[in-house]
Chains A and B, each alone.
Chain A
Amino acid sequence: DTGVSQDPRHKITKRGQNVTFRCDPISEHNRLYWYRQTLGQGPEFLTYFQNEAQLEKSRLLSDRFSAERPKGSFSTLEIQRTEQGDSAMYLCASSWYEGEQFFGPGTRLTVL
């Protein structure tokens, strides 16, 4: 399967713990996006990379959130000191310069 993959698919953690998610984009895509979706809402933009450069971050991305894309391939999203409000589906998408964004299956985070 050559689509966008995300790992893990589900994560349950206790408040205050750190979590890290991974996204592997479609191999020829140079742009990678992170979104967050909560119940009853559409996905909300968090940040995106072009190759290894992080070009934009939403104000939704507090100081506890950090994203990286070393070598312009896979990306990680880390949340430090998780809070119950961080519970959501975290979606990764990738695209080429010209074209639509393709989404992965998401990582569902539950913070207890």
Chain B
Amino acid sequence: DQQVKQNSPSLSVQEGRISILNCDYTNSMFDYFLWYKKYPAEGPTFLISISSIKDKNEDGRFTVFLNKSAKHLSLHIVPSQPGDSAVYFCAASAQSGNEKLTFGTGTRLTIIP
């Protein structure tokens, strides 16, 4: 039972354009959502998070949007840079991010110079 789903295994975007990564979840108990970025042979690196009391959180080039009624969140990266090429994981937890995280299967983002 995949409670967090990333339906796009890969995405290619031109440098300078916007990258949009999507994530859906099924568990209504999830109240905290995070995006992690992973390079090969490294552990996931935290990017940005959002609590269920908000619908948007922005940090520099990264913005996360949460649509609770649709159980959907998205990560926007603008402008996209070559260094953004990595695998992006969406994760969710049921208690403010300090309980176990449930991850999606990841989306491989490739930025084309």
Contact = CB atoms under 8 A, between A and B. Distances in A.
Interface of A: 4, 31, 33, 35, 40-45, 48, 56, 58, 91, 93, 95, 97-106
Nearest to A108: B41
A100 B46 contact: yes
Interface stretch (B11-19, B61-69, B78-86, B102-110): B102-110
A42 B97 contact: no
Given A56-B100, A98-B98, A101-B101, A42 B45 contact: no
Given A43-B103, A44-B103, A106-B43, A99 B89 contact: no
B46 A102 contact: yes
A104 B43 contact: yes
11 contacts: A4-B43, A41-B105, A42-B91, A42-B103, A43-B44, A43-B101, A43-B103, A93-B43, A99-B98, A105-B43, A106-B42
Contact of B100 (A33, A97, A103): A33
Contacts of B89: 42-43
Interface residues of B, number: 23
A56 B98 CA distance: 12
B27 interface: no
A104 B65 CA distance: 27
B61 to A, nearest CB: 18
A35 B106 CA distance: 15
A45 B102 contact: yes
B96 A98 contact: yes
Given A42-B91, A95-B97, A105-B41, A100 B49 contact: yes
A108 B27 CA distance: 30
Given A4-B43, A40-B105, A100-B46, A48 B91 contact: no
Given A98-B96, A100-B49, A45 B44 contact: no
Given A100-B49, A103-B45, A42 B104 contact: yes
